[in-house]
Amino acid sequence: MGSITRELTRLQEQHGWLPDASLRELAERLGVPLHRLESLSTFYTHFRREPPPARTLEVCRDVACRMASTPEAAAQWVDHSELGDVEIREVSCLGRCDRAPAGCVGARVVALADPADLTEALTDPSLQRRAVRRWDADPYEPDARYGALRAAVADLDASALIDTIEAAELRGMGGAGFPTARKWRFVANEPALPKYVICNADESEPGTFKDREILHDLPHLVIEGMVLAGLCTGAESGIVFIRHEYAAERVRLEAELARARERGALGESIFGSAHGFEIEVFVSPGGYILGEETALLECLEDRRGEPRNKPPLPGRVGLHGQPTLVNNVETFAHAAAITARGADWWKGLGRRERAGHKFLAVCGDVATPGVVLVPFGTTLGEVLEACGGMADGRALAALAPGGASSHFLGPEALEVLVDFEAVAEAGSMLGSGAVLFVAAGRDLLEIGVDVARFFRNESCGKCVPCRVGTEKAVRLIEAAGARPTVQVLDQLRELHATLARTSICGLGQVALAPLLSIVDRFPKDERGG
């Protein structure tokens, strides 16, 4: 899968960039036209076509890091006289919103507020190890891992496994909240072979980083969930599509894949049974759009990561035209735990008549940003308390409960429950589970513009409404300044309506919604500027 993209990644790792001569040699060796390599290497943000300097510091320019500092301040963090030539590049979200302001040197992510950490990274960019956290979501002691899978292959009843997931009422944790069992059963009922199981580990939206922690601390649950999904659907091949910024998490995942093979949980004969399943890791060449499942499939097929028109859905016509199940990291981890402990266990985890629990990424103006695991039915106020409350005792002005693409809500949302329907009724969405808290005194309008800039920057450009509309919207609001006129706001609403109706994928459909939620929900004297 993705042999051309893998080769481009290998070339860049070898040279630090993609020289013209190397691309010509690769095109000849693979027997593909040079223009195809040019098309890929200029589309994906991770590839470089010019030689890099000796050291490069990538600085996150998006909302959580901008709240903690400004990209322009990066120059103050680098002493060129001592460290030599250092290029500073602004990049989209690095998935380290809990360490804002965040930067990246090579594969090592650094906290820019810590000069010692930055200096050490520029001197030695090798990955650092960090402790593994024990989570209540893990049903196993280390020696008992893959117990649910061992039991499943001993007497396989794929329909009963899906029934357990259905009884638990597990929903997809990547954003849409689609019933997991329904998706698994849809792929299982497709007659065509082969089938594929894909774990979407390319979370790239500002504020979203909880899958990163699951991959680091619970990779065995992700693996087990994927294998169980394969048994249920009839697939024998799986792919973890992981963002390239998650190098440390990839190391942890690959080490656990090796252990799983040693234990018999992967391979041609799982635990000595007649059932086989194998998993490979594919590193994303960069771009938020690859989190959209059909753009991800395009990338795996060595094309530009541009979303497909739907239908057909990937469950029927997915990777290489075959039935393909795509779930995110958290969904597979919970599916494994439910299979191990049962639907009643899952239902008993929730509060206030809700079922299950949810990983949330919490960032912004909180005392202790990070990932928390809370029961469904917990209030957003209790989530804030779990993170130490607002930083410096500041008052809350606004929050976005579902990442950068969700509508902003006011302080009254602290009473809203962590629940897909409850958040929707409040006027926003739970999304993948990323809560951004914003303190009083912040310029809410500027935060909304930051989000619009992110979607403008990350638009793949395939459809004209998104490509042109996001750029026009940002120009309009930047030109208007802190107090946009009624005419400007009406133009933004018109643009949003057009993008929502005509964009191929969710990026264009939500690009302006967070900004407009601030304009429509908060009076002028509350939104700053």
pLDDT 10s digits, 266-311: 999 999 999 999 999 999 999 999 999 999 999 999 999 999 999 9
Q: Model confidence at 324, in pLDDT bands (50, 70, 90)? A: very high
> In the chain, which segments carry CATH 3.40.50.11540?
142-345
Numbered ranges of CATH 3.40.30.10 in the chain: 55-123
Neighbours of 457 (CB within 10 A): 17
Q: What three-state secondary structure class fits 146?
A: coil
CATH architecture under which domain 444-521 falls:
Up-down Bundle (1.20)
Which pLDDT score, from 0 to 100, does residue 123 have?
84
> What CATH number is given for 356-439 in this structure?
3.10.20.600
Mean pLDDT of 59-77: 77
**pLDDT confidence of residue 126:** 85
Percentage of the chain lying above the pLDDT 90 cut: 81
Q: Fold for domain 142-345? A: Rossmann fold (3.40.50)
pLDDT at residue 68 is higher than 60: yes
Residue 413, pLDDT score = 98
Lowest mean pLDDT among 114-123, 389-398, 514-523: 114-123
Give the predicted TM-score (pTM) of the model. Answer: 0.95
Mean pLDDT of 384-397: 97
Q: How far apart, in whole angstroms, are the C-alpha atoms of residue 301 and residue 260? A: 27
Is 413 within 8 Å of 386 (Cβ atoms)?
Answer: no
> What's the confidence (pLDDT) of residue 80?
46
- Asked if residue 275 lies in contact with residue 264, where contact means CB atoms within 8 angstroms, the answer is no
* pLDDT, mean of residues 135-164: 96
Nearest to 243, CA basis, from 175, 296, 318, 196: 296
Q: Where in the chain is the domain with CATH 3.10.20.600?
A: 356-439
Start and end residues for every CATH 1.20.1440.230 domain found in the chain: 444-521
Contact between residue 315 and residue 323 where contact means Cβ atoms under 8 Å apart: yes
pLDDT digits (tens, 9 = 90+) for 447-472: 999 999 999 999 999 989 899 999 99
d(CA 180, CA 206): 25
pLDDT at 1: 63
Burial 192-230 (b: 16+ CB within 10 A, else e): eeebbbbbbbbbbbbbbbbbbbbbbbbbbbbbbbbbbbb
pLDDT of residue 29 exceeding 70, the answer is: yes
* Contact criterion met (CB below 8 Å) for 359 and 173: yes
pLDDT at 83: 59
Contact predicate 312/134, CB 8 Å: no
Listing DSSP states for 97-125 in one string gives GGG-SEEEETTEEEETT-HHHHHHHHH--
Q: What is the mean pLDDT of the chain?
A: 93
| Residue 236 confidence (pLDDT) above 70 | yes
Classify domain 55-123 by CATH architecture.
3-Layer(aba) Sandwich (3.40)
Q: Is pLDDT of 313 > 80?
A: yes
Minimal CA–CA distance to 380: which of 434, 416, 412, 421? 416
pLDDT grade, residue 375 (50/70/90)? very high
Mean pLDDT of 119-136: 88
Q: In the beta sheet, which residues pair with residue 102?
A: 111
In this predicted model, what pLDDT tens digit does every residue of 391-426 receive, in sequence order? Answer: 999 999 999 999 899 999 999 999 999 999 999 999
81 pLDDT band, cuts 50/70/90, is very low
**340-349 pLDDT, tens digit each:** 999 999 999 9
Q: What is the pLDDT of residue 256?
A: 98
Checking if the pLDDT of 82 tops 90, the result is: no
User: Contact, 295 vs 505, CB < 8 A?
Assistant: yes
At residue 78, the pLDDT reads 54
